Structure 1
Amino acid sequence: MQRNTKKQNNKLTNNDIRRYTFSFWKLVVGLIILGFLFLTSVGLGLFGELPSFRDLENPKSNLSSEIISADGVVLGTYYVQNRSNVTYKELSPALIQALIATEDIRFNTHSGIDFKRTFTILFYNLIGKKQGASTITQQLALNLFQEEGRARSFSKRFIQKLQEWIIAVRLERNYTKEEILTMYLNTVDFGAYNTYGIKSAARTYFNTTPSKLTAPQAAVLVGMLKGPGIYSPIRYPKNSLNRRNTVLENMRKAGFLTAEQTANYKEQPLGLAFRPNVYGDGVAPYLRAVLKSDIKNIFNKLSITKADGTPYDLDRDGLKIYTTIDSRMQVYAEEAQKEMMRELQVTFNNQYKGRDPFKGLETLIDRAVKQSDRYRWLKQGDLSEDEVKKNFNTPVKMTVFSWKGDLDTTMTPLDSIKYNKLILRNAMMSMEPQTGHVKAWVGGINFSHYKYDQVKMGTRQVGSTAKPFTYAVAIDNGYSPCFKVPNTPINVDGWAPKSEGTIAGPITLKTALAHSQNWATADVIQRVGAQNVANLIKNMGITSEVPAYPSIALGTFDASVYDMVGAYSTFVNHGVWTEPIYLLRIEDKNGALIYEHTKKVKVVMNDQSAYVMVDMLKGVVQSGSGGRIRWKYKLLNPIGGKTGTSQANSDAWFIGVTPQLVSGVWTGADERSIHFSSTRLGQGANAALPMFALFMQKVYADKNLKYSQGDFELPPGGLQRELDCGKYQYDYPSEEEGKIDDRLDF
C-alpha cells in the first residue's frame, strides 16, 4: 500500500507538466530577452564604444605615405605600419579565390555572420577541436575597430565577439563585397619586417604587386593569415610550404583549381624573392629624409590640416607625395657613385700606408669621442674619464660600412671612430635647368651608417667652382671672353693668392677659366668688385654666407650642392635662376590635392652673358681641367663644367652642364683636416668629375630618357656676342679699354 502511494506520488500530473513546460519556455524567453537586451546594450556602446556611421564610412587605419617618382615608381614610404592600400582591380583573381576558399567559403552569401559555420565550429570546440568561426567581415571589424586586438580573457572576448557581429553587419550594409575584401587585404598583418597589407606583403616576400600574384604565391600569403609567425616563409619555410599546400587544396575543393593544377603547384618550391622593408634601403633614402622634414615644415607654416582640424601624420595618413625624381636616373646616380667611390677610397687609404693618419689630429679624435652617443651614454652612468677611456679601448663586436658591403668585425669603439673618419663622403644632385626639376639626389654614401644629407643640409668650401661667378659679372658688364688679363702674382687689398699650374700671361678670360688660373681670376675680381660678385652669387640662389671679400673669387666660402647646381643652371637657362624643386604636390589618401609647389624664378643676368658663360664652361671640358670627360669617358657631345678643389684638397667638386641637365658632385672626408695629400689625387677632376661622367654615360645610354646630345640653345633672338677669339685684332688692352665697345675691331 505504501509502495503504491509512493508510486502515485512520483507520477507527474498534467498540471505538473504544464507548469514545468511553462517554466522552461519562460526561462528560454527570458534568456532570449536577456540576450537581446545584452546585445542591444553592446550595440549602444555600454560595454565599449562602437564605431559611428561616419567611422564606418571612414575607417581608421595606419596607412603609410608613399613617395612617388616622376615616372610613377614608389621610391619609399613613411610609416608606423608599412601599409599601402590597393583597389579591388589591383588584386589577382587567385588571391581572392585563395582567401575565400580558406577563410570564408560562404563569404558571397552571408550578411556578415555565417551562423551555419558558427554553430558547426561551436560543436567542434565543444569536442576539443579548436577552430575559428569569424567571417572575413568579422575579421575586418576586428582589424579596423578593435585597436587592442583580440582579447585574451573569455569575458572580454565574448563581448568583443558580439561587437564584431554588430560591426560586421553594419559593414555589410555600408560596403559591397568587393570593398570588404579589399579593405580586409589592406589591413591584415603579415608578420615581421613591418609588413601590413597585401601590397606590402607582395613586395616584401615576392617582389611583385598584388595584381601579379600567382596561385602558389597567393596561397603562401593567405596561409600566413592563420599565424604570420608560425607560418612565416622566412623563419619556418617547412610550415609555410605545408600551409600553402593546404590553401591550394582548399582552392581545389572550392572549384577554383583543377586536381592537375593543384598537384603541379604543390610540387613547386616557395619561390621567394625576399626584400625586407628597411627605411634606409631602396633608392633616394637621403631625399626621403629631407622631404619628410620639409613636408612637416610646409604643413606647419601653411597650417595645412585635415577636415576635422587635426594635423596630418605622414606615418599614418596614407598621403601620396609626388616628386620630380626619375627613378631610373636616381639608380644611375647611385651606381655611378659606387663605381667611383670604390676605387677612390682605395686610393685614399693607400696614401696612409706606413704612417699614422691621425698624427697631429689628437684633438679632433678627442672631440669626436665626446660627441659620440656612446660617450654621452657612459657619462650618464657617472663613469669617470678613466673608466670611459677604458671602455673606448675595449674591443666589441660591431658592424661597419665598407664598399664591399657591411662588415661584421671586432674593434674598439675608438678605432671605429677613426675608421669612419677615414671613409670618404660624397654627394650628387642633377636637375633640369629650365624646369628646376631635380631628377637625381644622392645625399651620401650609405644612409644606414651615415644619415647626414650632404646635398642640401651640408655646406663645404666650393673652391674653383666659384670662379664662373666672377667671370659672369665681368661678362655681364661688357667684358669679352677674349679680353686678356695678366696672370702674374697679385695683391688685392692684402690678399695674395697662390697659383699652381700657372700659364704665362696675358691670357684671355676664356683660357683663364678653362685652366682655372688663380692669379687671372684675382685680377678679374679686382676689376669688377668683390661686392658685385657677392651680390650675383646670392642672386643665383646661394643661401649660405658669402662675404664680399676678394677671396670669394677662388671659392673660400661654403655652399651646398643643392645651391651650386641651382646657380649653374642659371647659365644654361639664359640668365634665369629657377629654384631647384623636388616636391611637386601632395594628395590625401582619397586623391584630393592638399599642397602644390609654386615655382620660383628670377632673372639675374643678361641672356647674352649667360650664353657666353656656357661657352666658357664648354671650354673647360674641351681644352681645360675637365678634359678627361672627353678623352677618358668619351663624352664628345657639347658639355660644359667646372672643377673645384678647396684648400688643402679637403673638398673636390665638379659641376657639369648639358643643354637639359645640370649636375653637381662633391667629395670629401667628414673632417676637413682629413684629406688627400696631393692635388693630383684630391682635385675635382679626379675625385668628383668621374661620377658626373659615369652618370651621364648611363643617362645617354637610356634612350627612354630622351635627353638630347645636341648643342645648347642660343639666346632668344640669336647670339650678339663674338666668341671666336681668332677674329679679334688687338694689342693687349689697358683696363679702360677692356670692355667690348671700347676695344674691339672685327
Structure 2
Amino acid sequence: MSFFSIKKYNWLKIGLGIILSLITLLVLFYSSIYFGLWGKLPSKKDLSDLKQQQATQILDINNDLLGKVYRLDRQNITYKQFPKHLIDALIATEDARFYEHDGIDSRSLFRVFFKTILQADKSSGGGSTITLQLAKNLYGRKDYGYLSIVVNKLRESIVASRIEAIYSKKEILTLYLNTVPFSDNTYGIESAAQKFFNKTTQDLNLAEAATLIGSLKANHSYNPRLFPERSQLRRDVVITQMLKYNYITEKEAEEAMQNNILLDYQYYNPNQGIAPYFRAQVIKEANKIIAENKLVKANGKGYEIYTDGLKIHTTLDINLQQHAEAAVKKHLTKLQKAFEEAYGNLAPWKKDSALIYKTLKTTAYYKRLKQQKLSEQQLQDSLKLKRKIKVFNWEGNQTKNLSVLDSITHYLKFLNTGMLSIEPQIGGIRAYVGGINYNFFKYDHITQSKRQVGSTFKPIVYTTAIENGMPACTYYSNKAITYTDVDNWKPKNASKNNPSDLNYSLETALSNSINTIAVKVMHDTGIEKTIDMAKAMGITSSIEPVPAIALGVSSFSVLELATAYTTFVNQSIPSQAYFITKIEDKNGKLLYQHKPKTSTQKAYSDHTRQIMLEMMKETVNSGTARRLRSTFNLPNAIAGKTGTTQDNKDGWFVGITPNLVNIIWVGNDQQIGFKTTRQGQGAKSALPIFGYFMQALNNNPDFNSITKANFENSTPKVLEELSCPPTKEDGFLKRIFGKKEDEKQSFKKDEEKKKGFFDFLKKKK
C-alpha cells in the first residue's frame, strides 16, 4: 500500500471516528434528556391526566358572565365549541402539515440544532408544530445556558411524541387552544374570545378568529387592544394563509379583510367591570362555603378559587345591576358638583387641617415615613413632593401632578354610596353597588360600613306600637317636649311644614317623618319592646336603649336594614340575604346548592304588616317621598321611607316594591355633612337614585315582573282602621287647658306608667 493510500485511509478512519463520536455524543445527549438528567419529563401517565389552572367564572342569575377570578386567565371548552374557521386559521398559520406528521417536524428540529451549535444563530428557532407548541405551553422552558434552545427543543420533541401517542388530533387541538397564551395575560381561546370580543368562541366570525390566531406569533406585538393596525395586518396574513391552503374562497377572504378590527373589550380585573363590590363579596362567600362544607377534590385537597376553574352561580341580575350602576352615576355626578359648590372655598377638605392630617395619619405612605424617623421638616417635604398619579373623577379619571396632601384633599370631598336590591321572598341579591368606584374606593358600603340610619328606623318604632295594640288612628301633637331625665333632650322637627297646633294620625306622622311624634310613639310603646322588634326583624347590630333611637341614632349596615324591610313584603318574616345559588366544578359537577333558610317565625302579625305597608305607601303618595310621583312620574306600586341623620351626614331611601326591596345610602366617608338639609335630606341625596333606577326598569319590558307587580290587597278591617282624617284639632277645653309647648316630662317614668296600659290593649286586641 502506498504512502498516499495509507494517509487517505487514516484520514477516512479519523473522519469516521469523528462522525461516530458525534453520533454517540448526540445519542448520549439525547438519552440524557430522555432519561431526565436535564430535569424530569412528564410520563405518559402524567400527560393522560393533565390538570391545568383554570379561571373561576362568576355567573349571574341568567348564567351571564359577571367576571372571572384567576392566576392564569384560562377557561377550557370542548372541540365541538370551536368553529371550523378557527381550526382552519390555526392550521394554515401555525402548522400546515398538522394532520400528516406525528408531532415532530424533523427538518425544522435539525435546522435549529445545527444552526444553533455550528453557527451560533440564536434566531434559528421556529418551525415548531402545534404539538411541540403545546408541549411548551404545558411545561414551559428552563434556562440551560448556551444549550437552552437545543435542550428545550429536544425535551419538547419527546413530550410531543408522547402527546401524539396518547391523544387524537382533535384532542391535541383542544388542549392547544385551551392552553395557548393570548394577549393581556389571557390563556385559552375561550377566555380570549370573551375578553376581546365579549362573545363565546363558537360565536367568533372569521375575522375575529383570524385576529386571535394571528396574535399567537407574538401576543404582545400583535395585541389588538394595544396595536390595532399591526394586529390587523397580522390578521390579514392569517386570512391569506387560509386562502393559500384552500380553506376559504377569495370572496370570503376579501369580506373578512375589508373591515377594521372592532373590539368589545371586557375587563375581568377584580377592580374593574360590572359589579366589582359584589364579586369581591362572592369570593369571600365562596371561600366560606368551601370551608364550611368541606368541599374537596379527588386528591383530598380543598378547592382553590383562583386555580380550579369553578363556576359560581350567583343571585345577581346583570341587567338590573347595569341599571343600578347607571342610576348611581347619573345622580351622584350632579350631586357631587352641587355638594362642592355649596361649600365653595370654605370646604372642610380644603380648610380643615385637623381633618386632613387625621386622614393623612391613616395612610400607609405616612406610616412608612414615620418609621424612617425623619425630622419634621423632612417629613413635610416628603408629603409635599409631587408626582404623577391617576385620580378618580366623575367626568373621567385623570392623571395629575399631586403631592400626598393634594391627593388626600382631592379624595376627602367625594360622596359615596351603597345601593342594594334584594328579592324579599327568598333573599336573593339582585343588584349591589358597594361604592362609587372599586378601583379607588374599595370600602364596601353594603356589608362593611355601618352608618346612623335616621328616620328609616321609624317604621320599626311604628310597627312595634301597632303590634302592641296602639290603634292606627291614634293622634299625636307634634309639639316639642323636653325629657328631663335624658339630659333635658328636646327633639325637634326638621321641617316646619307641619303646624304644631294640630294632631296627626300615625299614618300622617310617619309619612311626613315627624320627629317629635316618633319619640312620643316609642315613649308610649317602650324602648325595650322597640329593640326586641328590631331584632325580630333581622337587625343584628347593637342598639343602645336610649330615647334617641326613635330618630335613628343607631348604626346599621345597608344589608341589615334591607333584611328588616323585607318583612313588609314577605309575610312579616325577615329574608336571609344570600349571594350564591350553587357552585360547580370545571366539569359541571354540582358541589354546592343553596338551600333557602325557610322560617315561619313572624316578627309581627299580618294585620300590623298591612297597616305599615299602607302607611309607607302614603309616604310615597303624599309624604316625604312624593317626588317619586311628581318628579319621576313613577306609576308603580311603591312604598318607602326617607331618612336623614344629624348634620345631614347620611341620606337614606328605602324603596319597597312587591318583588324588590331597595336600600340606598349616600354620604361622605369622613362624615362631612351636606351644607344644608335641603340638599342633604334623603329625599334629595338618596331617593333620586331609586327614581332613575325605576324609570329605567319601567322602560324595559323584561322587568315587568318587578314594575307591574301589585301589593297584596289589605283587608277591609285594615282599611277601616286607617280611614280617619290625617289631622285634627284639639277640643276647646284641651286648647285652653292642655299642655304647653315647653312641657317637660320624664321619659323613663312615663314609659313605665304606659306599659301596663298597652299590654292591656294588646291582650284586648
TM-score, normalised via structure 1 length: 0.90
Corresponding position of 2:678: 680
1:142 to 136, 140, 151: 136
Percent identity reads 37
Question: C-alpha separation between the residues in 1 aligned to 2:317 and 2:5?
Answer: 98
1:59 to 26, 50, 53: 50
Question: C-alpha separation between the residues in 1 aligned to 2:349 and 2:139?
Answer: 59
Corresponding position of 2:124: 130
Question: C-alpha separation between the residues in 2 aligned to 1:695 and 1:617?
Answer: 19
Corresponding position of 1:440: 431
Secondary structure of 2:542's counterpart equals: coil
Structure 2 residue runs of 5 or longer lacking an equivalent are 732-752
Corresponding position of 2:321: 330
The range that moved more, 417-426 or 77-86, is 77-86
Amino acid at match of 2:232: L
Corresponding position of 2:380: 389
Q: Deviations over 1:407-464 (max 9, x none)?
A: 2223332132122111111110001100111100000001111111101111110000
Amino acid at match of 2:431: A
Question: C-alpha separation between the residues in 1 aligned to 2:729 and 2:358?
Answer: 58
Corresponding position of 1:701: 699
Corresponding position of 2:189: 198
Corresponding position of 1:541: 538
Question: C-alpha separation between the residues in 2 aligned to 1:307 and 1:581?
Answer: 28
Secondary structure of 1:644's counterpart equals: strand
Corresponding position of 2:65: 74
* Structure 1 residue 318, shift from structure 2 partner: 1.3
* Structure 1 residue 259, shift from structure 2 partner: 3.0
Corresponding position of 1:597: 594
Question: C-alpha separation between the residues in 2 aligned to 1:725 and 1:233?
Answer: 66
* Structure 1 residue 37, shift from structure 2 partner: 7.0
Q: Deviations over 1:669-724 (max 9, x none)?
A: 1112x111211110000000010111111122221133242421248xx6653455
Asked if the contact 2:210/2:239 (under 8 Å) is kept, the reply is yes
Distance change >3 Å, CA 242–CA 710, structure 1 → 2: closer
Corresponding position of 1:371: 362
Asked if the contact 2:44/2:163 (under 8 Å) is kept, the reply is no
For residues 140-289 of structure 1, the aligned pairs below 5 Å read: 140-146=134-140, 149=141, 151=143, 153-191=145-183, 193-275=184-266, 277-289=268-280
Question: C-alpha separation between the residues in 1 aligned to 2:364 and 2:437?
Answer: 19
2:490 to 493, 496, 502: 496
Provide the aligned length of Structure 1 versus Structure 2: 729
Asked if the contact 1:503/1:517 (under 8 Å) is kept, the reply is no
Corresponding position of 2:581: 584
Structure 1 residue runs of 5 or longer lacking an equivalent are none
Q: Deviations over 1:212-269 (max 9, x none)?
A: 2222322222122121123333444454333322222211121102234334544443
Question: C-alpha separation between the residues in 1 aligned to 2:102 and 2:655?
Answer: 65
Distance change >3 Å, CA 115–CA 526, structure 1 → 2: same
Secondary structure of 2:608's counterpart equals: helix
Question: C-alpha separation between the residues in 2 aligned to 1:7 and 1:626?
Answer: 115
The range that moved more, 727-736 or 388-397, is 727-736
Corresponding position of 1:524: 521
Secondary structure of 1:428's counterpart equals: strand
Question: C-alpha separation between the residues in 1 aligned to 2:258 and 2:373?
Answer: 62
2:551 to 550, 554, 559: 554
The range that moved more, 422-431 or 294-303, is 294-303
Q: Deviations over 1:152-185 (max 9, x none)?
A: 6453443333332332233334433223212212
Question: C-alpha separation between the residues in 1 aligned to 2:198 and 2:586?
Answer: 23
Corresponding position of 1:507: 504
Question: C-alpha separation between the residues in 2 aligned to 1:134 and 1:74?
Answer: 35
Distance change >3 Å, CA 556–CA 276, structure 1 → 2: closer
Q: Deviations over 1:126-169 (max 9, x none)?
A: 897835232212211221123xx364645344333333233223
Question: C-alpha separation between the residues in 2 aligned to 1:359 and 1:132?
Answer: 61
Corresponding position of 1:690: 688
Distance change >3 Å, CA 151–CA 563, structure 1 → 2: same
1:84 to 46, 62, 75: 75
TM-score, normalised via structure 2 length: 0.87
Secondary structure of 1:108's counterpart equals: coil
For residues 285-434 of structure 1, the aligned pairs below 5 Å read: 285-358=276-349, 361-434=352-425
Asked if the contact 1:231/1:240 (under 8 Å) is kept, the reply is yes
Matched, 1:463 2:454: yes
Secondary structure of 1:281's counterpart equals: coil
Asked if the contact 1:324/1:582 (under 8 Å) is kept, the reply is yes
Matched, 1:110 2:133: no
Secondary structure of 2:328's counterpart equals: helix
Question: C-alpha separation between the residues in 2 aligned to 1:538 and 1:132?
Answer: 70
Corresponding position of 1:624: 623
Question: C-alpha separation between the residues in 2 aligned to 1:207 and 1:150?
Answer: 35
Corresponding position of 1:637: 636
Secondary structure of 1:435's counterpart equals: coil
Q: Deviations over 1:84-126 (max 9, x none)?
A: 2233233222211110111112223333334466467778988
Question: C-alpha separation between the residues in 2 aligned to 1:739 and 1:732?
Answer: 26
* Structure 1 residue 496, shift from structure 2 partner: 3.2
Amino acid at match of 2:168: T
Distance change >3 Å, CA 470–CA 9, structure 1 → 2: closer
Asked if the contact 1:65/1:314 (under 8 Å) is kept, the reply is yes
Secondary structure of 1:387's counterpart equals: helix
Distance change >3 Å, CA 737–CA 270, structure 1 → 2: closer
Question: C-alpha separation between the residues in 2 aligned to 1:264 and 1:575?
Answer: 62
